Amino acid sequence: MAGSNEILSKILQAEIEVAARISSREAAGLTTPEAVRTLRAFGLRCSRSAPLIEAQISIPEPELQHVVAELCERYGAGLHRKPRQRLLTITATHAFVDDALHPVIQAMLDAVIAARHEEARRLIAELRASMPDE
């Protein structure tokens, strides 16, 4: 499977691309710390001009839920699970969820799925190669 470094790289690149888009800057000129500061500042600006909403997302794997929790904390968005519910609830403005958080989470999920597909293809090839000759 693609290593966690490759997945991390894709998440960080998504942060930079999203931050560049919302700040009308070139992605090539942004560092990861600048991107995170830009995303946090965007979240603060949004919360001053629009009401907070509760957006519910379903991420069945606990490991990925922890990554989403870290991303929410990183950007200053609230995250909790309501009693007796499997869904995670993100508290932020609609604009922040749609324009900043969702694209980064989607990039993370896409990277994880691609890595798993690659690992499955590799495993299938190894299984086929290990078949006895008839």
Q: For 92-109, how does the pLDDT look when each residue is reduced to its tens digit (9 = 90+)?
A: 999 999 999 999 999 999
38-58 per-position pLDDT tens digit: 999 999 999 999 999 999 999
In 3D space, the residue among 103, 93, 23 whose CA is nearest the CA of residue 71 turns out to be 103
CATH at 123: 3.30.1360
Range of the domain at 99: 4-129
* DSSP symbol at 55: E
pLDDT (0 to 100) of residue 84: 82
Count of structural domains within the chain:
1
Cβ–Cβ contacts within 10 Å for residue 80, how many?
A: 12
Which spans in the chain are helix H? Answer: 4-23, 32-49, 62-75, 94-96, 102-129
Examine residue 48 and state whether it is found in any structural domain, yes or no.
yes
Q: What is the mean pLDDT of residues 13-31?
A: 95
- Give the Å distances, CA to CA, from 43 to 4, 27, 47, 87, 111: 27, 19, 6, 22, 24
Examine residue 134 and state whether it is found in any structural domain, yes or no.
no
| Average pLDDT in the chain | 91
pTM of the model: 0.82
